Amino acid sequence: MITEKRVEVSELRRIFQEAYGLTIGQTFSSMVNYILDQKFGKDPYEVLCDDPSQFYHGFKEVFSDGAEIALSMVGKVLVEKYGVNIPFEGFTAILAKGDDSSKNKFREIMEKAIMSGKNSFPNGMNNPR
């Protein structure tokens, strides 16, 4: 594990912003970050790291049904770009639950994405080590 039951905030920010940029564009990504920062009163990726469910529900409160779509797209990028296996219940369901099992699944998913990103070549192909 990268850290004891905690994924680094900077890596979460990087992955989510990259996913937003690939799916909904950099402008929307900046807007999402600004609005969530205002909502939570602190870095939204700290909230995501500490309590994925709080992040999900805050995101949904601000963006309504659009939240489900945007976060599903993040899950899709995690699968397609980082090769992470998302459990059957789906990425947004894992974020939404808030129980210890879901928090642990979220951390495992993000840690795999971070390790995959660190083992990638600049052209995005995974390192075949």
CA distance 104 to 7: 10
Residue 14 has a pLDDT of 85
Instruction: Let me know if residue 128 belongs to a domain.
Output: no
| Most distant pair of Cα atoms in the chain: their distance | 43
pLDDT bin (cut points 50, 70, 90) of residue 119 is low
Mean pLDDT of 6-30: 80
Tell which residue, 98, 111, 81, has the closest CA to residue 11.
111
Number of domains in the chain: 1
Burial (CB < 10 A; 0-12, 13-18, 19+), residue 52, is buried
Residue pLDDT, tens place only, 70-80:
888 889 888 98
Q: Which domain holds residue 105?
A: 9-116
Output the six-digit token pair for 53: 């469910």
CA distance 20 to 7: 19
Instruction: Let me know if residue 30 belongs to a domain.
Output: yes
Residue 127 has a pLDDT of 38
Query: Coil, strand, or helix at residue 43?
Result: coil
Q: Is the pLDDT of residue 122 over 70?
A: no
Percent share of the chain, pLDDT over 70 = 84
